[in-house]
């Protein structure tokens, strides 16, 4: 039982070229076609990458919001990093996306540096460790996303209460890299938080914070064991954290091989990269659509 | 030669500009927390060939949300989604220059401009208030002048980033720069950068003077006066008869949550009104000079102008403002509203308006179905789009990029980028 996320990256129509291990960048119109085909094929979701070698990729959150018009029941994961994004801004953007597509958004958060706004007032201006920054960032996202529950929406016209603000909680985060008062400006259920770069973050942090861990090729072997070890004593179980392994497929994908590979490594899902262009991607999706419904992984 | 025509944006201010809008009969009180509200209004705006939809924004929870829905979506997410379901309508997002990393902002807004095929505007705001500041690690609101210094630095950096793009470029060159602050600092910023000014003028003569000043100010920065489009905010209350319109306004006043109105006014004034007499005017000694006010000097100035002009009691002032920002409110039949719009336009007080319907979507539906056709009959507004980009709609030239970004010149609208 394996969930499938399909990777895509959008760049200029004229620019695309393929790099091994990466999806071929597509123009926006092709990304729409791929998303529609992914919906029809019944895959679990799409993952919009924020960069690719050799091209200028379009901002993933903006592309994801655009694709929300056609993404239907797909999960939509957005790649980004801490670099350039004050946590409040990223939390808002992802929660807005989440609400705009019926609660199916998530972020694949990469390690990175700070941003011009937060750095200027960083509690510890000398702190540099990217793994530690990621851990703190994930904590802030978690608190911001938990602070304004959708149950607070009341809409009591007679009683003059639009929102029950007693259910809203401030964030009051005061850490090493960030201070964030919160709460978020809008109601949200929790979007998915996916960890990339687990080598830098560490399994302990990923296991404690993430809903999904996305693994590169070299991280797949033994990942299940490392995750189980990291979860000991955290109060979380293996079912709370999903492992997705990145797999590159050609036009003719053999789903059974893909699923066997995932099962061999006790992965919960496959993060699928189709190395060809639009035609290959559509062919792969057609192949997958012949399967029984691919399970959800939430 | 096509006569000069109006520009019209719709400001999708959650449930409507009035504080009681979300309680108006037939209104879904929570619609503005869902994306369909914005998509539907944008489609209506596009059917009417409006220039753009406009989204205000402050990155903070509205402290008065108990008594009124507030903006709750990040604007670029909403506009990207609108871009996917529309073809022509312009898309103006408010983003804070104080609380964004300029590199990230330039990329995201520039990419949105690319994917919408040149329909984006950036409304540059400096973001008043200490609550927003605390979401970004600051202990309190930066000084007003300092906020505008940073706005100029950030805006320059963002423009240079757009002008030197080699990929994901926009058919309109770069997003349109919009500015909405009426303070002295804001006006200097507008003269240097703004291509559209969302102003908050109440009085025809002062609005004429304001527009003349910003056009002259632009010239002082080596720009053409015609490179600046001045769009005052215009709150509309429409009825098929004058009596019906007045009744609608009175109903909205009655629906205004009192706690909301009082706390909002206190916020605009910068002091508590809890101990003031409802039936007496606000003591003059409490009102500082607008340039000395913290927070939003624009809205302090508007409220102060109302007090100077009408000397209302506190109770009357609360009703006059009716929980709106303080933008000018016109109440009447479609013909009366068209008369008002035409008067301001022909007098040189406005190049068009940022329309802020009383209640959304009903007040905007009425505007599109009744006021827009009247303006079209008077040949004051287009009947269909003549261009595909926001710059094209606004009659603004595509900025030509030359080797040094600081030495910008322009080519004619629709001209090719170099």
Which chain B residues are Cβ-neighbours of A161 within 8 angstroms?
Answer: 66-67
Which chain B residues are Cβ-neighbours of A97 within 8 angstroms?
Answer: 77
Taking 3-state DSSP, the helix, strand and coil percentages for chain B, each rounded to the nearest 5, stand at: 45, 15, 40
pLDDT at B418 over 90: no
Which chain B residues are Cβ-neighbours of A187 within 8 angstroms?
Answer: 33, 72
Q: Is B193 on the interface with A (CB under 8 A)?
A: no
Cβ atoms within 10 Å, residue B145:
12
- The number of CA neighbours under 13 Å toward the Cβ of B359 is 26
Measured between CA atoms, how close is A258 to chain B, in angstroms? 33
Measured between CA atoms, how close is A228 to chain B, in angstroms? 35
pLDDT tens, position by position, B82-130: 999 999 999 999 999 999 999 999 999 999 999 999 999 999 999 989 9
Q: Is B417 on the interface with A (CB under 8 A)?
A: no
Q: Is B123 on the interface with A (CB under 8 A)?
A: no
Distances (CA, A) of B321 to B233, B235, B252, B265, B312: 14, 11, 11, 9, 11
Which chain A residues are Cβ-neighbours of B101 within 8 angstroms?
Answer: 84-86, 115-117
Which residue is associated with the tokens 């329309």?
B355
What predicted TM-score, i.e. pTM, was given to this entire model? Answer: 0.94
Q: Is A169 on the interface with B (CB under 8 A)?
A: no
ipTM comes to: 0.96
Structure confidence at residue A16 as a pLDDT band (50, 70, 90): low
Residues B236, B355 contacting (CB under 8 angstroms): yes
Which chain A residues are Cβ-neighbours of B85 within 8 angstroms?
Answer: 69
Nearest-Cα residue of chain A relative to residue B83:
A66
pLDDT at A1 over 70: no
Nearest-Cα residue of chain B relative to residue A186:
B72
Q: Do A155 and B22 count as a contact with CB atoms less than 8 A apart?
A: yes
Q: Do A58 and B168 count as a contact with CB atoms less than 8 A apart?
A: yes
Cross-chain CB nearest to A85 (options B68, B104, B138): B104
pLDDT at B167 over 50: yes
pLDDT for A293 equals 53
Q: Could you give the CA distance from residue B274 to residue B253 in angstroms, rounded to a whole number? A: 20
Pairing mode, strands A161-163 and A153-156: antiparallel
E strands, B51-195, in order:
52-55, 90-96, 120-125, 176-179
Phi/psi zone of residue B399: left (φ > 0), alpha (ψ -120 to 50 degrees), beta?
beta
The lowest-confidence range among A46-60, B206-220, B304-318 is: B304-318
Element (H, E) at B304: helix B297-310
pLDDT at A101 over 60: yes
Cross-chain CB nearest to A69 (options B27, B81, B98): B81
pLDDT tens, position by position, A149-205: 999 999 999 999 999 999 999 999 999 999 999 999 999 999 999 999 999 999 999
Task: Calculate helix-pair angle for A28-41, A278-289, nearest 10 degrees.
Answer: 10
Measured between CA atoms, how close is A132 to chain B, in angstroms? 18
Nearest-Cα residue of chain A relative to residue B96:
A89
Q: Could you give the CA distance from residue A263 to residue A267 in angstroms, rounded to a whole number? A: 6
């Amino acid at each position: 039982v394996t969930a499938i996320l399909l990777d895509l990256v959008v760049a200029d129509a004229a620019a695309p070229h393929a790099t091994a291990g990466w999806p071929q960048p597509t123009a926006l119109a092709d990304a729409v076609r791929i998303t529609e085909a992914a919906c029809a094929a019944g895959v679990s979701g799409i993952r919009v990458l924020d960069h690719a070698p050799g091209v200028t990729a379009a901002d993933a959150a903006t592309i994801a919001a655009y694709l929300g018009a056609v993404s239907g029941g797909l999960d939509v994961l957005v790649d980004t990093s801490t670099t350039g994004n004050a946590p409040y801004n990223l939390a808002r953007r992802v929660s807005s996306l989440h609400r705009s597509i019926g609660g199916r958004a998530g972020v694949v958060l990469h390690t990175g540096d700070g941003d011009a706004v937060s750095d200027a007032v960083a509690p510890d201006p000398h702190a540099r460790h990217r793994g530690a920054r990621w851990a703190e960032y994930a904590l802030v996202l978690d608190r911001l996303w938990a602070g304004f529950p959708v149950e607070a929406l009341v809409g009591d016209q007679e009683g003059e209460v639009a929102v029950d603000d007693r259910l809203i909680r401030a964030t009051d985060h005061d850490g090493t890299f960030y201070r964030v008062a919160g709460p978020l400006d809008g109601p949200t259920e929790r979007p998915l938080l996916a960890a990339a770069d687990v080598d830098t973050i560490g399994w302990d942090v990923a296991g404690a914070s993430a809903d999904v861990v996305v693994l590169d090729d070299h991280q797949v072997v033994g990942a299940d064991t490392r995750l189980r070890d990291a979860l000991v004593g955290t109060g979380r179980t293996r079912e709370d954290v999903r492992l997705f392994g990145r797999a590159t497929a050609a036009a003719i994908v053999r789903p059974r091989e893909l699923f066997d590979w995932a099962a061999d490594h006790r992965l919960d899902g496959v993060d699928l990269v189709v190395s060809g262009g639009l035609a290959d991607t559509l062919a792969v999706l057609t192949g997958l659509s012949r399967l029984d419904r691919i399970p959800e992984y939430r | 030669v096509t006569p000069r025509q109006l520009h019209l944006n719709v400001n999708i201010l959650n449930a409507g500009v009035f504080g009681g809008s979300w309680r108006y009969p037939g209104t879904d009180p929570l619609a503005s927390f869902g994306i369909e509200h914005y998509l539907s209004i944008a489609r209506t705006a596009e059917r009417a060939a409006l220039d753009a939809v406009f989204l205000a924004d402050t990155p903070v929870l509205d402290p008065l949300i108990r008594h009124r829905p507030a903006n709750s979506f990040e604007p670029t997410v909403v506009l990207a989604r609108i871009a996917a379901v529309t073809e022509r309508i312009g898309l103006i997002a408010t983003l804070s220059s104080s609380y964004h990393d300029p590199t990230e902002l330039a990329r995201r807004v520039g990419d949105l401009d690319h994917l919408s095929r040149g329909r984006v505007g950036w409304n540059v705001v400096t973001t008043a208030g200490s609550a927003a500041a605390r979401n970004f690690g600051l202990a309190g609101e930066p000084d007003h002048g300092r906020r505008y210094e940073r706005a100029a630095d950030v805006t320059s950096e963002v423009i240079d980033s757009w002008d030197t793009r080699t990929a994901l470029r926009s058919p309109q060159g770069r997003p349109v720069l919009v500015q909405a602050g009426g303070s002295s600092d804001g006006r200097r910023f507008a003269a240097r950068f703004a291509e559209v000014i969302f102003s908050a003028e109440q009085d025809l003569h002062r609005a004429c003077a304001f527009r003349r000043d910003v056009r002259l100010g632009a010239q002082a920065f080596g720009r053409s006066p015609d490179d600046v489009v001045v769009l005052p905010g215009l709150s509309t209350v429409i009825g098929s008869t004058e009596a019906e319109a007045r009744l609608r306004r009175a109903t909205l006043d009655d629906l205004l949550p009192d706690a909301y109105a009082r706390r909002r006014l206190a916020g605009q004034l910068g002091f508590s009104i809890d101990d003031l007499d409802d039936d007496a005017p606000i003591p003059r000694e409490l009102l500082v000079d607008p340039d000395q006010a913290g927070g939003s000097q624009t809205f302090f100035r508007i409220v102060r102008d109302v007090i100077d002009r009408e000397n209302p009691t506190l109770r009357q002032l609360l009703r006059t403002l009716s929980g709106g920002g303080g933008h000018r409110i016109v109440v009447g039949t479609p013909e009366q509203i068209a008369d008002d719009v035409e008067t301001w336009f022909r007098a040189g007080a406005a190049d068009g308006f940022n329309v802020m319907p009383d209640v959304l979507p009903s007040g905007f539906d009425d505007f599109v179905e009744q006021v827009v056709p009247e303006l079209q009959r008077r040949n004051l507004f287009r009947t269909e789009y003549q261009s595909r980009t926001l710059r094209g709609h606004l009659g603004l030239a595509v900025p030509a990029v030359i080797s040094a970004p600081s030495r910008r010149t322009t080519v004619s609208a629709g001209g090719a980028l170099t």
